[in-house]
């Protein structure tokens, strides 16, 4: 979600999402920091935000913007392309893939938010595509496995074909429940890329972003 995250998240990861029965959701900017690691995505908890950049997760204080911790994987290590992060029960759950290598493989990487240590992984192997985001909502995991029209596949073919992008619903222990493809009107918005970010809001709506357009889809 590179360009969108740089343009939006660097400014709004400390913003508040306001909802009410009679008013639409709105974003209110309450702070702004220049964060070099905010290249792929960002996760938040009550006190910190966690900027994601491929092999790096950097932890920053929400109020001061000061660096509070950092995890960085080796260049030749198994973690290649972290794309997003979400926080739950003191753990960071980061979407990971081997993008742009072929064949596509994906995993959910788990970190301890206090120590910033890598503590676990769940591998999806070669399955639906490149995992770009994960959220836990109503007792289930929700994830998008992206595919792309950019020519990163074998012999410069499309990297999985954008129309094969799927949002997957899984149980708490990662058993498959259901899957959805993206509507054409949304795929067209993604240009040659795909769905790069997503999260369920407190209003019960799902919010998605593409890789490049500075837009949020509800």
Q: Per residue in 1-22, pLDDT tens?
A: 443 343 344 334 333 333 333 3
Residue 10 in domain: yes
Q: Is residue 41 part of a domain?
A: yes
CATH classification of the domain holding 183: 2.120.10.30
In a domain, 129, yes or no: yes
Q: How far apart are CA 130 and CA 81, in angstroms?
A: 10
Kindly provide the residue ranges of all beta strands, DSSP E only, lying in 76-149, ordered along the sequence. 81-88, 91-97, 106-112, 118-125, 130-137, 140-146
Nearest by Cα to 97 from 9, 165, 18, 21: 165
Contact (CB, 8 A) for 60 and 66: yes
pLDDT for the residue 97: 98
Structure tokens at 47: 């006190």
Contacts by residues 70-76 (CB-CB < 8 Å, ≥ 24 positions apart): 70/116, 71/111, 71/116, 71/117, 71/118, 73/118
Q: In whole angstroms, what is the distance from residue 205 CA to residue 81 CA?
A: 27
Question: 3, 13, 4: which is closest to 33 by C-alpha?
Answer: 13
Q: How many domains does the chain have?
A: 1
**Domain for residue 24, yes or no?**
no
Does residue 104 lie within any of the structural domains?
Answer: yes
For residue 26, tell me if it sits in a domain: no
Mean pLDDT of the chain: 90
Domain that holds residue 197: 2-16+34-217
71 within some domain? yes
Over range 151-171, report the average pLDDT: 96
Inform me whether the pLDDT recorded for 39 exceeds 80.
yes
Phi, psi of 26 (to 5 degrees): -145, 150
Among 112, 104, 110, smallest CA distance to 131 is for 104
Q: In terms of pLDDT, which residue wins out, 59 or 155?
A: 59
């Amino acid at each position: 979600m590179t360009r969108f995250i740089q343009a939006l998240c660097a400014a709004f990861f400390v913003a508040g999402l306001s909802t009410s029965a009679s008013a639409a959701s709105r974003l209110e900017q309450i702070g702004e920091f220049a964060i070099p690691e905010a290249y792929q995505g960002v996760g938040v908890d009550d006190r910190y935000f966690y900027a994601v950049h491929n092999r790096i997760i950097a932890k920053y204080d929400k109020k001061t913007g000061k660096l509070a911790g950092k995890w960085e994987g080796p260049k030749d290590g198994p973690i290649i392309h972290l794309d997003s992060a979400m926080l739950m029960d003191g753990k960071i759950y980061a979407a990971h893939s081997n993008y742009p290598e072929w064949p596509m493989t994906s995993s959910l990487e788990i970190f301890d938010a206090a120590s910033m240590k890598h503590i676990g992984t769940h591998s999806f192997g070669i399955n639906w595509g490149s995992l770009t985001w994960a959220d836990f909502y109503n007792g289930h995991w929700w994830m998008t496995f992206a595919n792309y029209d950019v020519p990163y596949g074998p012999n410069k073919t499309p990297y999985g074909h954008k129309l094969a992008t799927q949002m997957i619903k899984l149980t708490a222990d990662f058993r498959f429940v259901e899957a959805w493809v993206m509507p054409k009107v949304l795929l067209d918005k993604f240009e040659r890329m795909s769905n790069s970010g997503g999260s369920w809001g407190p209003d019960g709506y799902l919010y998605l972003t593409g890789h490049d357009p500075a837009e949020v889809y509800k």
